[in-house]
Structure 1
Amino acid sequence: MDKGLSLRNVTISKGDVPLLSVNHDIGPGEVLTVMGPSGVGKSTLLAFITGTLAQDFEATGEVWLDGHEITHAPPHRRRVGILFQDDLLFPHLSVGANLAFGLAQGGSSRDRLAKVDEALDEVGLKGFADRDPATLSGGQKARVALMRMLLSEPCGLLLDEPFSRLDATLRAQVREMVFDRARARELPVLMVTHDAEDARAAGGVIVTLGG
């Protein structure tokens, strides 16, 4: 598959205990949901894809992204974006500076500011560039975290239970926003969750671990 994210015969174990086995292609704009209880290895799979797997785990198989094998590439070269359940915004930076952090180096200050303003406008936060992240609501923080990740121009998106700390109404809104923007940018998405509603909303294939 030239475009998308491919997990080719990926297996992860800890010691002699096998944790998971996944073999799946995720096309541009598609979502693969991996479900299972805590401790079954969902986040471990994401760590393998991002190149941050702890040394006490053993993994085999290959990760391909847009026709390139990235299994052994340094984490910063993989062009994989990830969203966690915590927004992980930098508290010492303004909202605009948080977004600018996602931008590639280079370009004029004017161009960088324009990209930040455009990103904020896209998610209904026009004029928020100078705000302190501490003054934002949970939903606003989630939107800033999403756009910061998208400004880094990833080729694939990983979701590590990113909606679990939001209340029901906000959860549905943020979830729709994330999936809509992933589809618009034709990003393959791998989401890990234990929430059945999140899995249904993703609308793609569901793989259950430990079931």
Structure 2
Amino acid sequence: MSTASLRLDEIAITHGGHPLIDVSASVAPGEILTLMGPSGVGKSTLLAHIAGFLPVGFRASGRVLLGETDLGLLPPERRRLGLLFQDPLLFPHLDVGGNLAFGMPPGGSRRQRRDEVNMALDDIGLAGFAERDPGTLSGGQRARVALMRVLLAQPHAMLLDEPFSKLDTALRDEMRRLVFERIRRDGLPTLMVTHDRADAETAGGPIIEL
């Protein structure tokens, strides 16, 4: 379980000299801070900056801190951030078990890793799916596998970019519950970008309107 807060310290993002984002916030372990606002204000760009993938043409200032660690001093792969997007982005050349194993930290025997993958699949109601082709999964199944792949990487914080927007109403409610329950259980400070106020209300955390 994470015990560190995620802090945005006077983050300002500009594009071509035009200001987009100017925000300071602190997100406690297990808390979900929601950023809401119209398209084009820079919500997803903020998440990209936090993750270390600020697009060309954008400039950012300020600091992103996870506990006492300044993430801006680390390469993206060492920031220990879990990213969940609109699309599951599963690897088509790997089976479901291979997709889950891809995100796991190195170490352990092949059998230990396989057992961990099987336990994770059972945890999300997909026992026996390890050898399935991701292309044969339903939308809800793909979303659950994508979530578990992120969690198996043992992130210290989560970034959610419109993660439920492409799911139908029933699946959206199911995935909200699953995602938010795991975030709270694992104590992960989380930043969520969404257009859907129901996402924010279900998350139950503070909301920043951009």
TM band (smaller chain)? over 0.9
SS of the aligned residue for 1:147 comes to: helix
Q: Which amino acid aligns with 1:51?
A: G
Matched, 1:101 2:99: no
**Cα distance, 1:54 vs. partner?**
1.5
Give the TM-score, by structure 2 length.
Answer: 0.97
Q: Which amino acid aligns with 1:91?
A: P
Indicate conservation of the 8 Å contact 1:156/1:189, yes or no: yes
Long gaps (5+) in structure 2: none
Long gaps (5+) in structure 1: none
Structure 2 residue aligned with 1:24: 25
Structure 1 residue aligned with 2:48: 47
Matched, 1:57 2:35: no
Structure 2 residue aligned with 1:13: 14
Task: Give deviations 1:127-147, integer Å, cap 9, x for gaps.
Answer: 110111111110100000000
Task: Give deviations 1:172-198, integer Å, cap 9, x for gaps.
Answer: 000110000010000001000111111
Give the TM-score, by structure 1 length.
Answer: 0.97
SS of the aligned residue for 1:71 comes to: helix
Equivalent pairs counted in the alignment come to 208
**Cα distance, 1:32 vs. partner?**
0.3
Question: Percent identity of the aligned residues?
Answer: 58
Q: Which amino acid aligns with 2:9?
A: R
* Structure 1 runs of 4+ with >4 Å offset: none
Coordinate RMSD, CA, aligned: 0.9
Indicate conservation of the 8 Å contact 1:15/1:57, yes or no: yes
Indicate conservation of the 8 Å contact 1:83/1:159, yes or no: yes
**1:138-153 counterparts in 2 under 5 A?**
138-153=139-154
